Structures are given as C-alpha cells and as structure tokens.
Amino acid sequence: MTNNEIIKSIRHMLSFNDKNIVEIFKLADHEIIQQDIQNFMRAETDPLFVACPDPLMAKFLDGLIYLKRGRDPGKPPMPYEFPITNNTILKKLRVAFELKEEDLIKTFERANFRIGKSELTAFSRKKDHPNFRNCGDQVIRYLLKGLTIKLKA
C-alpha cells in the first residue's frame, strides 16, 4: 500500500477531515497545510496528486500515536529506518491503537482474515532475525479494515 492509501484509510476509519489530519501532523511537530493533505487524497491519475514521502509518513504515524495515547514530553520519538515498510506501519498502528496480540488477532478476524501469533511475532522482529518476515500489503489492508469495523461499530 502507498503512504497515501494508508492516510486515506486512517482518515476514513476515524471519520476525520483535512483539518484533523493537519492536526495529527502538528502533534508530531510538523507544519503542513490543508492543500497538501488534499493533494495526498487525490487519485493517482489526478495531475495535482502528490505522493506522501516516507519522512512525512513517519511524522503522521508519530502524530497518530500522540493523538491516541498522548505524548511523553521527556521521551523523543523513536528513529525511523527509511523506506518505511509495512512492518513499521503495523508496529506503529499497534502502538497507536494499543493492540496486544489477542487484540490484533481479533481485529484481523473482524476483517475475515486469520493470522497466527507466530506470524504476528515474525512481523515485529528485526530484519536480521532468522524468523523475520516481511509484512505484505494485504495484511495492512486487513488490519485497517478490521480497525475500521471495530471503530465504526
């Protein structure tokens, strides 16, 4: 999934508008204007479409965590490795929505997707770990779908 698709999905999930998305960026100490958000939300075929770069996506994910859980002023944000992967997005969404393994599994089940604890653990491991596994786009789609179902219920 692209960064733009993820922001669109989260925006829909939380029933947010452009102003709310701007506020999420502000929580992560990044100033962005509504026009930029509108350009991120456009179809890729639109000439005014702008792809959201990884550093901005990192700010968005941090801002989402601060929105949902609050900010610890004494603790700096965790550094990111670029490019941002689906594994990172999964971890950040898990933190933002305070999801334990059992919660994640239930969230996936809401979206009619079965996943085991060992597979979830493999997504959270470091790249050099022998049991590391890349998280695919479909896993992120099902997570976002399950979160949307949970929050809209």
pLDDT average, residue stretch 45-49: 98
Q: What percent of the chain has pLDDT over 70?
A: 100
pLDDT confidence of residue 81: 87
Q: What is the pLDDT of residues 26-42, one digit of tens each?
A: 999 999 999 999 999 99
pLDDT confidence of residue 36: 98
Q: What is the pLDDT of residues 60-117, one digit of tens each?
A: 999 999 999 998 888 887 788 899 999 999 999 999 999 999 999 999 999 999 999 9
| Cα–Cα dist 90/51, whole Å | 20
In angstroms and rounded to an integer, the radius of gyration of the C-alpha atoms of the chain is 15
Annotate 2-14 with DSSP letters as a single string.
Answer: -HHHHHHHHHHHT
Sequence ranges of the domains in the chain: 3-57, 86-152
